[in-house]
């Protein structure tokens, strides 16, 4: 009671402090860099990451792109190449004239070198940058190159993907945050009992969202997925706590004439109630931090922090706003559209064996679909972009015109003799899907001594420590074919140089596939164990955690299993994140109902009466909460052109509805069915016999 009274006493200063904090939070939000490169989140000790760092350190090269020029004369292409070379942060541009200008007769250049860069009316140049793939300066350079090149040229490569992704996200974000707010407002207007309270909720939650996003400044940067989802998810998840405070305050107002006293009691009641549910939600997000693919750490900390800010806002800022606006809030009260739930609750309790059967029948196909969906994910981030975007068009041109699906880079110790390097190149060019290997040895052949080459050429492909080669592959990034090809190429390079490293987008993507596959199992286990322990402590029961998690896990299996039956492929990060988000965010529904069931059973009611009362009183809160999460995410899913954002929001929206339905229909049936077991394994219920 002391905390509630303190908040009520200092409500005006609390509100003023919150408004003052919005100023640094706004600057923090603006100043937080957003990372659009998924490969940046690979563990630092991976060979591919070490190799990328070596490439930057030894050659001063980071990002890499192919530029395709159509219907241009050699003279114009040469002029274009010179312009691109002068773009800031472009380190090197390689075209076939980089070699033809040498004092080597043209006939001495291998045919595949010429044909590698030219077709009938199209030519291609390779561009190295002196900055990292997703660095802001690299993206600026990509934009400048596109301006210079015009419509006859197409820029491919991971940096082009990252640039387009950033531009698309920045265009979409204000719109889909607006959509989430409007739809959440509509849901609350209809389902709550006041026309004004949704605006008050959004003001309070909005402040906490800005505080959360502003405090990300101390991390230096966050991923675009985190930025895109955190505001929407924080809005949806922490809305529950606001609704609980509002309902509790109105109940207390009927008992006490003093509004401040009523609010003080409501604050303490809310704090007591939301500690358990917010802890489970936070535990679900913290489980993501156990991923070795550090995007999970990024997403998990920001989301968990968001829930914590949500709880703080709910018991400080929101009470202050409600007390200040109490008169208009009471004047704008209306009847909620949620009908009386007594008949529905009676019906569910009456036919509970039917829902037990449904639970048993649905579980096997849901689990099968869930396992299949997890193995049918895609990793190529280009697939999450619209087909008419510049990067996708450029990559299609690269595949159709030059039959290049991916480009690997190979670092070999500079001390390895040229004859062994040539043997290695010959062996690699026999590997399925390898078009050619471009390096000093393949360019000059055995007849031309390396010493006669100018430093401007050798510095591109050789340093004191390493020799650099480009391997063009017919296979697409993240495909099974390219992953098998990488295994074979790695075995060849290790035969000639045990310290040699195969790097680039496809090898990094292969590492990401293997890393996230292990992470999925770890995160799932950690989230289930953590939430199991929390429920065990909150409910003081051994059996109830199994029952609650079984219901929510079935909801997850159905949600993530449906894409398999619909023939859809999910982005790789979706199953990992959604399983923990859905478990953490919707287990609250189950805890709410179970806690009421327990108190009714301990109070002397039969199992039938206890379940009926728990269901009747919980359905309105569950519907408001579930529909709030659905409304906040569904609009974003429909609007967004970025498949990774659209897919995850659709899964969250659908997951909220599925969890809501299972908690309303299946959980009561399981409580009826397992009542004796629950009584024998729960503290405070051991003496219940009826």
CB 511 within 8 A of CB 293: no
Instruction: Write out pLDDT tens, residues 98-145.
Output: 665 544 444 455 666 666 677 778 888 889 899 988 889 999 999 999
d(CA 127, CA 94): 6
Predicted TM-score (pTM) of the model is 0.86
The CATH 1.20.1640.10 portion of the chain extends over 1-31+192-335, 338-380+522-690
- Return the H-helix or E-strand segment holding 521: helix 505-539
What does R_g of the chain's alpha carbons equal in angstroms? 30
CB 47 within 8 A of CB 501: yes
d(CA 138, CA 141): 5
Instruction: Write out pLDDT tens, residues 24-68.
Output: 999 999 999 999 888 889 888 888 889 888 888 888 888 889 899
Query: Which pLDDT score, from 0 to 100, does residue 33 have?
Result: 92
347 closest CA partner among 668, 675, 676: 668
Q: How big is the chain, counted in residues?
A: 690
Distances (CA, A) of 646 to 183, 565, 566, 635: 16, 19, 16, 9
- Return the H-helix or E-strand segment holding 289: none
Token pair of 233 as six digits: 């998810």
Contacts of 269 (CB under 8 A, 6+ apart): 248, 252
Distances (CA, A) of 681 to 541, 594, 675: 6, 14, 10
Query: Which pLDDT score, from 0 to 100, does residue 452 have?
Result: 53
Token pair of 404 as six digits: 């290049």
Instruction: Write out pLDDT tens, residues 511-533.
Output: 988 888 888 888 888 888 988 89
Residue recorded with tokens 């401040």: 260
Please tell us whether the domain made up of 1-31+192-335 is placed in CATH 3.40.640.10.
Answer: no
How far from chain centre, in Å, is Cα 664? 29
Query: Which pLDDT score, from 0 to 100, does residue 277 have?
Result: 77
Residue ranges, the chain, pLDDT below 70? 1, 96-116, 441-457, 459, 690
d(CA 79, CA 144): 16
Distances (CA, A) of 330 to 12, 90, 196, 594: 20, 64, 9, 32
β-sheet bridge partners, residue 122: 70
Distances (CA, A) of 347 to 341, 343, 350, 354, 362: 10, 6, 5, 11, 21
- Return the H-helix or E-strand segment holding 580: helix 573-602
Fold of 338-380+522-690: Multidrug efflux transporter AcrB transmembrane fold (1.20.1640)
Query: Which pLDDT score, from 0 to 100, does residue 560 have?
Result: 94
Query: Which pLDDT score, from 0 to 100, does residue 317 have?
Result: 92
Token pair of 626 as six digits: 């579930």
- State the CB neighbour count (10 A cutoff) for residue 175: 13
Q: Are strands 221-223 and 33-35 parallel, antiparallel or unpaired?
A: parallel
Residue recorded with tokens 């693919």: 293
Contacts of 238 (CB under 8 A, 6+ apart): 205, 208, 306, 307, 309, 310, 311, 313, 314
Query: Which pLDDT score, from 0 to 100, does residue 376 have?
Result: 86
CB 579 within 8 A of CB 527: yes
d(CA 482, CA 684): 60
Instruction: Write out pLDDT tens, residues 568-600.
Output: 888 888 888 888 888 877 787 888 888 889 888
């Amino acid at each position: 009671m002391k905390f509630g009274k303190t908040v009520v006493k200092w409500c005006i200063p609390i509100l003023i402090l919150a408004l003052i904090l919005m100023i640094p939070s706004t600057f923090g939000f603006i100043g937080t860099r957003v990372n659009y490169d998924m490969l940046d989140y690979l563990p630092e000790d991976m060979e591919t990451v070490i190799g990328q760092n070596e490439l930057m350190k030894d050659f001063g090269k980071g990002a890499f792109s192919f530029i395709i020029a159509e219907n241009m004369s050699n003279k114009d292409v040469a002029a274009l190449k010179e312009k691109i070379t002068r773009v800031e942060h472009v380190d090197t541009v390689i075209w076939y004239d980089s070699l033809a200008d040498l004092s080597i007769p043209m006939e001495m250049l291998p045919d595949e070198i010429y044909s590698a860069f030219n077709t009938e009316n199209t030519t291609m140049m390779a561009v190295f940058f002196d900055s990292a793939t997703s660095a802001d300066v690299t993206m600026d350079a990509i934009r400048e190159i596109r301006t210079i090149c015009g419509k006859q040229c197409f820029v491919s490569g991971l940096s082009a993907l990252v640039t387009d992704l950033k531009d698309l996200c920045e265009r979409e974000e204000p719109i889909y945050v607006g959509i989430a707010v409007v739809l959440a407002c509509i849901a609350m207007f209809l389902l709550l009992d006041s026309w004004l309270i949704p605006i008050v909720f959004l003001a309070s939650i909005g402040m906490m969202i800005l505080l959360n996003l502003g405090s990300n400044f101390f991390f230096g940067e966050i991923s675009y997925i985190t930025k895109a989802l955190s505001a929407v998810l924080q809005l949806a998840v922490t809305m529950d706590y606001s609704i609980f405070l509002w309902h509790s305050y109105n109940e207390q107002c009927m008992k006490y004439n003093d509004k401040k006293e009523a609010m003080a009691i409501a604050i303490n009641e809310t704090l007591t109630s939301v500690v358990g549910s917010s802890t489970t939600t936070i535990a679900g997000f913290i489980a993501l931090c156990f991923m070795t693919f550090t995007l999970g750490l990024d997403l998990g900390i920001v989301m968990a922090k968001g829930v914590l800010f949500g709880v703080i806002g709910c018991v400080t800022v929101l009470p202050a706003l409600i007390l200040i606006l109490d008169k208009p809030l009471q004047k704008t009260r209306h009847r909620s559209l949620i009908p009386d739930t007594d008949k529905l609750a009676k019906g569910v309790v009456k036919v509970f064996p039917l829902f037990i059967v449904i639970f048993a029948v649905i579980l096997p196909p849901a689990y099968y679909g869930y396992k299949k969906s997890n193995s049918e994910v895609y990793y190529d981030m280009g697939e999450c972009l619209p087909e008419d975007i510049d990067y996708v068009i450029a990559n299609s041109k690269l595949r159709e015109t030059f039959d290049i699906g991916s480009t690997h880079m190979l670092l070999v110790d500079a001390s390895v003799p040229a004859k062994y390097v040539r043997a290695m190149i010959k062996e690699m060019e026999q590997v399925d899907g390898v078009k050619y290997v471009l390096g000093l040895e393949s360019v000059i052949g055995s007849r031309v001594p390396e010493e006669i080459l100018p430093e401007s050429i050798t510095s591109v492909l050789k340093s004191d420590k390493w020799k650099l080669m480009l391997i063009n592959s017919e296979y697409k990034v993240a495909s099974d074919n390219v992953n098998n090809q990488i295994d074979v190429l790695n075995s060849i390079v290790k035969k000639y140089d045990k310290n040699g490293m195969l790097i680039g987008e496809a090898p990094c993507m292969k590492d990401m596939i293997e890393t996230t596959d292990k992470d999925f199992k770890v995160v799932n286990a950690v989230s289930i164990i953590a939430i199991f322990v929390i429920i065990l402590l909150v409910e003081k029961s051994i059996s109830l955690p199994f029952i609650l998690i079984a219901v929510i896990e079935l909801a997850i299996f159905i949600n993530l299993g449906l894409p398999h039956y619909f023939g859809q492929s999910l982005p790789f990060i979706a199953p990992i994140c959604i399983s923990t988000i859905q478990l953490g965010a919707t287990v609250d529904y189950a805890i709410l109902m179970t806690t009421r069931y327990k108190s009714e059973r301990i109070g002397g009611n039969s199992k039938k009466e206890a379940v009926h009362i728990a269901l009747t009183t919980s359905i309105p809160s569950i519907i408001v909460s579930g529909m709030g999460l659905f409304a906040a995410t569904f609009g974003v899913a429909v609007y967004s052109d970025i498949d990774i954002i659209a897919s995850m929001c659709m899964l969250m929206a659908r997951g909220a509805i599925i969890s809501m339905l299972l908690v309303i229909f299946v959980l009561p049936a399981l409580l009826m069915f397992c009542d004796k077991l629950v009584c024998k394994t729960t503290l405070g219920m051991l003496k219940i016999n009826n």
